Amino acid sequence: MAKNKKDRINVVYSTNPDFGYDYEEEDEQETLPNNQQKLYVSIDRKSRAGKEVTLIEGFVGSEDDLKDLGKLLKTKCGVGGSVKDGEVLIQGNFRDKIISILENEGYQTKRKGG
């Protein structure tokens, strides 16, 4: 894959023809097997206009694998949600159902919060 000018860091422009630009490295984190993952499942109401969401934290792996997990949970619960900042947000209070789904998929889970 060709290096893109936008990926250069610490230098805007150099007149030196032999200058070696530093490029941002995309560190794709390797996804741990399901049985080595410990996911924390909680209900969150903060800064959500009083609406409840089920929050899944603690996933170790690539962004694509996290998105796949989010899609699986949204499909099984039949609701919307999102994946961002390494967390999966599922609309509504589905903590018990999500814990059951995750354990069936081989994940270790821990109930977090009230």
Does the pLDDT at position 22 exceed 50? yes
- Whole-number Å distance between alpha carbons of 52 and 66: 21
Q: Where are the domains of the chain?
A: 28-111
Q: What is the mean pLDDT of the chain?
A: 83
Q: Give the DSSP per-residue string, 5-24.
A: GGGEES-S----TT---EE-
- Using 50, 70 and 90 to split pLDDT, how confident is the model at 5? low
Give the Å distances, CA to CA, from 14 to 5, 8, 37, 50, 107. Answer: 12, 12, 45, 52, 50
- Whole-number Å distance between alpha carbons of 10 and 76: 45
Q: What is the pLDDT of residues 42-74, one digit of tens each?
A: 998 887 788 899 999 999 988 899 999 999 999
Residue linked to tokens 């609309």: 91
Structure tokens that stand for 62 in this block: 């690539």
Does the pLDDT at position 86 exceed 80? yes
pLDDT of residue 112: 84
Residue linked to tokens 């018990």: 96
Which is it for strands 87-91 and 81-84: parallel, antiparallel or unpaired?
antiparallel
CATH of range 28-111; options 3.30.780.10, 3.30.1330.10, 3.40.50.2300, 3.40.50.300: 3.30.780.10
